[in-house]
Amino acid sequence: MPNIAVTTWSLEQTSPTDLLPAAAPEGDVRIVRSEVLSPEFSRFLYTSVGGDVLWTDQLGWTYAQWQAHLERPGVETWVAYERGTPAGYLELSPQDDGVVEIEHFGLIPAFRGRRIGGHLLSYGAARAWDLAERWPGLARTKRVWLHTCSKDGEHAMDNYLRRGFKLFDTKVEEEAVVATPGPWPGAYPG
């Protein structure tokens, strides 16, 4: 398969006051923490959100790898629902010394362009800043960071900047093109 040049941008907030919240979308949109660890549900979210933007890193994970990932203290999955249907998610992953990564964030394609993404990112970043309040033993959050790349949706970078994230690193690397089936083979038009 051919290679493509992929630009990865890393962004951060270094204070809770950096967060610039988005307005909540109209309609019945709720954000709920997924408190029951479920590798099946997490893999569903990962493939449904990332299938058309070439998320591949975790496609080969076993059930045990998903379970171990989710069992790490402080890992949280926040899911946006529109009228009871999962629309997207955000996953928080604490690191050393009060650093929290927004490891995954995105919307299922059918829910993009409805103002849910900004609301979910705002809510999730706020939960990153108060993560230690829910997880005794974790250090108080001092920094929240994430990365996005040129394979992600066309509005991703703008959403991060509008929420108060600041660019701190840029890398360009060659990657092999890998087929991503989404939730099932052929799920996305090619």
In this model, does residue 54 exceed pLDDT 80?
no
pLDDT attached to residue 161: 97
Complete domains list, the chain, with CATH: 3-19+29-176 (3.40.630.30)
Contact yes or no for 148/157 (Cβ under 8 A): yes
Tell me the pLDDT of the chain averaged across its residues: 92
In this model, does residue 80 exceed pLDDT 70?
yes
pLDDT attached to residue 180: 63
pTM: predicted TM-score of the whole model, two decimal places:
0.92
- Computed from CA positions of residues 138, 47, 166, 19, in that sequence, does the dihedral angle turn out positive or negative? negative
- The whole-angstrom separation of Cα 94 and Cα 117 is 22
> How is residue 74 written in tokens?
């402080």
Identify the band that residue 57 occupies on the pLDDT scale cut at 50, 70 and 90: confident
Closest of 33, 38, 25, 45 to residue 109, by C-alpha = 45
